[in-house]
Amino acid sequence: MAQGMLYAASAFVIWGLFPLYFKALGTVPAIEILAHRVFWSLVFVALVLAARRQWQWLAQLRSQPRVVGGFALSAALLALNWCIYIWAIQHDRIVDASLGYFINPLLNVLIGFVLLKERLRPAQTLAVAIATCGVAWLTWHAGSIPWIALSLALTFAFYGLLRKTAKLGPLEGLALESMVLAPVGLLYIGWLALNHQGAFPSESLGMQVLIAASGPITAVPLLLFAAGARKIPLSVLGLLQYIGPSLQLALGLFLFHEPFGHDRQVGFALIWTALALYSAESAWRGWGRRGSEEL
C-alpha cells in the first residue's frame, strides 16, 4: 500500500511539475516539441522493452487489426492533448490547463453515464451539476468557452476510455502509440530540417539534451502510475490524482504570476466543491466496501 502510494504520488508530482519543463523549452514551437516527444518516447520505451526482452506482444498484433486501430485512435487523442497542453504552457495559460485536469474526473463520470450506460449515484449527479455551473460561470464572465480546459479534459477522458478497454498493458500500449505517431513526427522533423526551419539543430547542446529528455520524462511517470495503480485502491488513486493539477495551478499563480481574479476564483471554487463532493463520496464507498470485505 505504502509503496503503491509512493509510486502513484511520484507520477502525479512529475506531471504537476511539467510546466517547468515546457517553459524551459519556450524557444521551440509546440508542434516541434510534440514531434520530438513522440520520437524520443519511442526510443526510450524501445530500450526498456529490449532490456526486459518484452517483444512477444508485437507478433500477436498481426492478427488483431482492431487493437491496432484502437491504439491509432488513442494515439491521435494523446497527441492532440499533448500539443494543446504544451501550447498552453508556452502561452502563459497554465491555470487554464490545470482547470482541464480538475474537470477530467467529473467528465469521466459523465462519459460513463452517456456512453457506457453506467448509473450515476446522487452525489455524482450533484457533483457534475455543480461543476457544470462552474464552467458556465467561467464561460459567461470570460465571454468565451474555456476551450483549453475543455479540450484537455475531453481528449484525456476519451483517451482514458479507449485505454480502459485496451488489451495491452501500459508499457506496450505506450510503445504502440509511439510507433503510430513516430513516423509522422519524424516526417515533420525531416521537413523542418530540409527547409532550415527546425529549432533543434540550431539550439545549444544543453537544449538538445533537454528536448531528447522528453522521452523518459514522458514515459517514467506513466510507468510509475501503472505500478502504483496495481497496488492501491481506486478511491485512494482518485484522491492522489489532484496532486498534478494542484501543483500546476500553484506554479501558474505563484511562480509565473498568471491572473486569477474574482470571477475565476468563483468558477474554480464551484469546480473544487464538485470535486470534494465526488471524492468524499467515492472514498466513503471505497472504505465501506473494504470494511464489509474484512468482516
Residues 184-204 have a mean pLDDT of 89
Which of the pair, 295 or 139, is modelled with greater confidence?
139
**What's the pLDDT score for residue 141?**
83
294 lies in some domain: no
292 lies in some domain: no
Residues 35-39 have a mean pLDDT of 94
Domain count, the chain: 1
Residue-number span of the structural domain to which 134 is assigned:
2-287
Instruction: For residues 26 and 84, give the distance between their C-alpha atoms in angstroms, rounded to a whole number.
Output: 14
Residues 214-230 have a mean pLDDT of 85
Residues 54-63 have a mean pLDDT of 85
192 lies in some domain: yes
Q: Which amino acid is at 1?
A: M
Instruction: For residues 165 and 1, give the distance between their C-alpha atoms in angstroms, rounded to a whole number.
Output: 25
Question: 129 in helix, strand or coil?
Answer: helix
pLDDT above 80: residue 76: yes
**What's the pLDDT score for residue 286?**
67
293 lies in some domain: no
Share the mean pLDDT of the chain.
Answer: 88
Of 176, 167, 179, 25, the residue nearest 89 (C-alpha): 25
Query: pLDDT of 91-133, one tens digit each?
Result: 999 999 999 999 988 888 888 888 878 788 898 899 999 999 9
Residues 45-71 have a mean pLDDT of 88
Residues 41-64 have a mean pLDDT of 89
- 199-217 burial string, b = 16+ CB within 10 Å, else e? bbeebeeebeebbbebbbb
**What's the pLDDT score for residue 110?**
86
Longest dimension (CA), the chain: 69
257 lies in some domain: yes
**What's the pLDDT score for residue 159?**
87
**What's the pLDDT score for residue 231?**
79
Residues 152-166 have a mean pLDDT of 85
53 lies in some domain: yes
Instruction: For residues 248 and 96, give the distance between their C-alpha atoms in angstroms, rounded to a whole number.
Output: 10
Residues 34-39 have a mean pLDDT of 94
